[in-house]
Each structure stands twice: as structure tokens, then as C-alpha cells.
């Protein structure tokens, strides 16, 4: 298979392999990284353009002489590449430090815009924002903060326990006269569930036409596409969104990001969070990080060129992983937490639990000698023993959610690595449960 051959011939994803110390008799234990939703390694081509830019494009992009011009050209090319990746216009992209900043920028901007436009009308209303219960913390926490400060009202719409998705009708039902933003992620980082963003945008657009006649504020639609980019086609026209968050380190790019804003500053207002030297047309000032922007552009170019091959390869390996899990463990013991009948999901994500009183996700992972994965969002890795609120929101029972592991495969993960991981899990379970008679003794 072309994709597999092209994608597996290097050391990516095996960066965690332990080097031998030279004198040991037994080979070092092989590590297999399956946490690509947490972060991805840089593609070699990305490292190359980052390095070149560091060496050769160090000029200030705002300087009028050749060194500055060279840096500016690199930034323009990267912007073009990002725009192509999402089917948007280059002038609608601004560079940010990452997903957290892009998400915060959208939220704070719509609140500022509401305050500017509505306070002139003196109706005293606070802006209202709608989101769902499984968003990343970089959406949830700024919204909770604004609500706690009574600067905004927020509705967290529960996701369906049947589909794992937020239902379009539930989003619409949450809308109020003062609603100015709907923000729903494109793909969930823990389950991989794809949210119905195109349908939400369409319905909100139709509603906006009616609201305009009554003098109500326009509702803008934002999607956080951090997890979807590089794993499936993402197109801002098909999605119909006003804002879209881009995160480089989820698609083999550097740890910066960008924000797409439809008709930036003309159709869609954007209020900066920072004030400074005028870069990014004042929407996000600060001297541009040319090398990282160059790398982000290269990573985007690779996605545009290869996303179908990436998707097919990841789906093949992930489906094989699920098949092997069901074959190697008693089917009754495996619960595939991210499979909701009829719901689309990311091609690389497998969230599952092995039932058993001793098999809490963290405990099991700690027993694994090969597998490197997580129990949920990487940023919650310090929260011991609490099952993922995302899984609980999706209707996964407490005892099952407590045992959950999130495995996410990447461009270079192989079926042979899946075999190693499944054996590793079997051995870890056997060590935790002891001989058959001991099973369940410590519950
Ligand atoms: C869905 C989603 N949104 C936003 C982010 C935030 O990205 P960053 O931590 O790079 O700012 C992440 C990263 O884990 C994510 O998974």
C-alpha cells in the first residue's frame, strides 16, 4: 500500500526508543508512541525549513532592506500554504502562539465587539456565548472565567449520550437574544468524534437573517480544528464558519498556531488582545517568529498534498488496533469508548477501556513497558483517578470511564507496533490481575 510504504520508512514516532547504554546484555525495551493527539514530532522537511529560516531569514520582517524582505516573503508563503490547507484566503489568516491563544482571541474579541456595539444602544445586556460540554480547556476555562466575572453569560450544551456529538437542535435551542458566538470543536481530542459544524453554521446563518430584521446581534460561529487538521479534509467554505483555530504541533508542525477569520476586519470583526508594533495588521502585534511560521507553512503544505494518504494510513492502523484488542481480550471486557453508531470520528483515535476492578487507566498505563499513551487530554495528566469528564458527558459509565486509555496513532505507526502494544497491554493486565483465582480480589 503506497501510503504505508511512504509513511513508515523513517524513525518518526519512534523518537521515544530508549538508547542502549552500550554495555548491556539485554536489548533496551522498545517504546511505541501512540499519543499523537497530545502532540506530534516535527516532519524532517519542517525541521529543514525551520533551520534554514533561523540561519538565513533572521532579518526583521518589517525591515525594508533585503534581510527583512526575505523574512517577509517566507511569512507570506506560509500564510498562503495555511490558506490552501483550509480552503480560505491568505488575508484571512493571522499567526498566533498556538491553539490556546487563538481560542482565547475569538472569545475575548466577540465579547469586546458586543460591548462596543450593544452598549451604545444602552440595553444593558451581557453577551451570551454557546458551546458544548466536551470542549478543550482553552475554550471552557476562558468562558467560565467570563461567566464568573459576570462579563458574559455562557450555555454549555450537553453532548448526546447516543452519538457523542452535540446536537444541532440543542445548540439552536440555547440561542438567546444576546447570543453573539457559537463555538464548537470540529473533532474531540479524547473520543475523536466529529461535530456537525457545517449544519450548525447553516442553521445559524438562516437564524441571523431573521435576527437582523429584529435588530439582534449577529451570531458568529467558531470551530477549534486543532485535532481535525492533518487527519481529514478541513475546508472553511464547506464548514461555513467565521473563525477556525489552527494548531501546528498537532499536524507535525511547530508549536505555534493561527486563526482563520472570514473577511478579517471587514466581514468579521477582530479585537486584538495585545497592543504593540502593528504586525499582523495590528490584530496580533509582536515581531513575527519567522522560523516557526516557515515550519508551520511547510507542515500545512504537506497536509494539503498528502492528507488523503495520511488519513487512509491512520484509519488502517487504528482499525487494526481495535480488531486486535477485540481478538486478544475477551470481547465482553473491551469497551470501545469512541465508537458511537453512525457517528463519524477521527481516523487515528481509539479510546477504550478494559473492564476490571484493578485496571484503572493510569494504573494500567504505568504497568505498560512499551506503550506510551494517555488516559485523556494531555493537559489533565496530573488529575489522578478522576475519570475523564468528556467520557462521562458522552454517557460512558463511571466504572468504564475510569479504566479508559486514549491511544492515537500517527503517520508512521505500523501494524507491527500495534501487535507489540496489544501484547504489552495483555502482559500489563496479567501482572495487575495476578493468577486467574486472584482476579477481582482487591475490588
Ligand atoms: C482540541 C484542542 N484545542 C486546543 C488545544 C490547545 O493547543 P495548545 O495547547 O497548543 O495551545 C489542544 C491541545 O491539546 C486541543 O487538543
Q: How many other CB atoms sit within 10 Å of the CB of residue 217?
A: 22
**pLDDT at site 376:** 76
Cα–Cα distance between 271 and 264 in angstroms, integer? 10
Block residue for cell numbers 458544548: 132
Block residue for cell numbers 495555511: 82
> Does the annotation mark 379 as catalytic?
yes
Q: Whose CA is nearest to atom 4 of ligand 1?
A: 99
**pLDDT at site 390:** 95
Is residue 247 within 8 Å of residue 257, measured between CB atoms?
A: yes
**pLDDT at site 120:** 57
**pLDDT at site 331:** 86
Cα–Cα distance between 120 and 324 in angstroms, integer? 62
Which residues does 180 contact at the CB level (< 8 Å), separation at least 6?
110, 111, 113, 114, 127, 128, 129, 217, 218, 219, 220
**Residue 378 C-alpha to ligand 1 middle, in angstroms?**
9
Q: How many other CB atoms sit within 10 Å of the CB of residue 427?
A: 14
Cα–Cα distance between 314 and 3 in angstroms, integer? 10
Closest CA to 252 of 95, 50, 91: 50
Atom from ligand 1 closest to the CA of residue 135: 1
Is residue 258 within 8 Å of residue 102, measured between CB atoms?
A: yes
**pLDDT at site 24:** 54
Within 6 Å (CB) of ligand 1, which residues are found?
98-100, 136, 138, 185, 189, 224, 226-227, 247, 249, 378
Instruction: Using 70 as the pLDDT threshold, list the residues of the chain that sit under it.
Output: 1-28, 119-123, 377-385, 436-443
Ligand 1 pocket test: which of 224, 226, 244 has the largest number of ligand atoms within 8 Å of its C-beta? 226
**pLDDT at site 17:** 40
- DSSP 3-state of 195: coil
> Exactly one of 132, 180, 368, 379 is catalytic; which is it?
379
**Residue 37 C-alpha to ligand 1 middle, in angstroms?**
9
**Residue 226 C-alpha to ligand 1 middle, in angstroms?**
6
Q: Give the CA count within 13 Å in the CB-facing half-sphere of 198.
A: 7
Ligand 1 pocket test: which of 38, 39, 40, 100 has the largest number of ligand atoms within 8 Å of its C-beta? 100
Cα–Cα distance between 417 and 407 in angstroms, integer? 12
- Full-model pTM: 0.92
Q: What number of residues does the chain have?
A: 443
The DSSP secondary structure of 69-108, one letter per residue, reads HHHHHHHHHHHHHHHHHHT--GGGEEEES-HHHHHHHHHH
Ligand 1 pocket test: which of 102, 103, 136 has the largest number of ligand atoms within 8 Å of its C-beta? 136
**Residue 29 C-alpha to ligand 1 middle, in angstroms?**
31
Which residues does 394 contact at the CB level (< 8 Å), separation at least 6?
134, 159, 161, 164, 191, 193, 337, 340
**Residue 273 C-alpha to ligand 1 middle, in angstroms?**
19
Q: Whose CA is nearest to atom 14 of ligand 1?
A: 38
Amino acid at each position: 500500500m503506497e501510503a504505508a510504504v511512504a509513511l513508515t520508512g523513517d524513525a518518526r514516532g519512534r523518537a521515544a526508543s530508549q538508547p542502549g547504554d552500550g554495555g548491556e546484555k539485554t536489548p533496551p525495551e522498545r517504546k511505541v508512541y501512540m499519543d499523537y493527539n497530545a502532540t506530534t514530532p516535527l516532519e524532517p522537511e519542517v525541521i529543514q525549513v525551520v533551520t534554514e529560516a533561523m540561519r538565513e531569514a533572521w532579518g526583521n520582517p518589517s525591515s525594508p532592506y533585503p534581510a527583512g524582505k526575505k523574512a517577509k516573503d517566507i511569512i507570506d508563503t506560509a500564510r498562503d500554504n495555511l490558506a490552501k490547507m483550509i480552503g480560505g484566503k491568505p488575508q484571512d489568516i493571522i499567526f498566533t502562539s498556538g491553539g490556546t491563544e487563538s481560542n482565547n482571541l475569538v472569545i475575548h474579541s466577540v465579547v469586546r465587539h458586543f460591548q462596543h456595539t450593544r452598549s451604545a444602544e444602552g440595553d444593558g445586556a451581557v453577551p451570551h456565548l454557546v458551546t458544548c460540554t466536551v470542549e478543550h480547556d482553552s475554550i471552557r476555562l476562558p468562558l467560565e472565567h467570563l461567566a464568573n466575572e459576570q462579563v458574559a453569560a455562557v450555555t454549555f450544551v450537553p453532548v448526546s449520550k447516543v452519538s457523542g456529538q452535540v446536537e444541532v437542535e440543542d445548540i439552536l435551542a440555547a440561542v438567546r437574544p444576546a447570543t453573539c458566538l457559537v463555538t464548537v470543536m470540529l473533532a474531540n481530542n479524547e473520543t475523536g468524534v466529529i461535530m456537525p459544524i457545517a449544519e450548525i453554521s447553516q442553521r445559524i446563518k438562516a437564524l441571523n437573517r431573521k435576527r437582523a430584521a429584529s435588530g439582534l446581534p449577529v451570531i458568529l460561529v467558531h470551530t477549534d480544528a486543532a485535532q481535525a487538521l492533518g487527519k481529514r479534509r478541513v475546508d472553511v467554505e464547506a464548514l461555513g464558519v467565521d473563525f477556525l483555530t489552527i494548531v501546528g504541533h498537532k499536524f507535525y508542525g511547530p508549536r505555534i498556531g493561527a486563526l482563520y477569520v472570514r473577511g478579517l476586519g471587514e466581514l468579521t470583526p477582530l479585537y486584538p488582545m495585545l497592543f504593540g508594533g502593528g504586525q499582523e495588521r495590528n490584530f496580533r502585534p509582536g515581531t513575527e517568529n519567522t522560523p516557526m511560521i516557515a515550519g508551520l507553512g511547510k507542515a500545512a503544505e504537506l497536509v494539503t498534498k498528502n492528507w488523503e494518504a495520511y488519513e487512509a494510513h491512520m484509519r488502517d492502523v487504528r482499525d487494526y488496533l481495535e480488531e486486535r484488542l477485540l481478538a486478544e481480550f475477551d470481547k465482553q471486557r473491551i469497551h470501545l469508548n469512541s465508537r458511537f453508531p453512525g457517528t463519524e470520528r477521527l481516523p487515528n483515535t481509539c479510546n477504550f477501556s478494559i473492564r476490571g476492578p484493578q485496571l484503572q487507566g493510569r494504573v494500567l498505563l504505568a504497568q505498560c513497558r512499551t506503550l506510551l499513551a494517555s488516559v485523556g487530554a494531555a493537559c489533565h495528566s496530573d488529575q489522578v483517578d478522576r475519570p475523564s469528564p468528556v467520557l462521562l458527558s458522552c454517557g460512558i459509565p463511571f466504572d468504564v470511564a475510569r479504566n479508559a486509555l486514549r491511544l492515537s496513532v500517527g503517520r508512521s505507526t505500523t501494524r507491527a507496533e500495534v501487535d507489540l502494544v496489544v501484547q504489552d497491554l495483555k502482559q500489563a493486565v496479567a501482572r495487575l490481575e495476578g493468577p486467574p483465582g486472584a482476579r477481582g480480589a482487591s475490588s
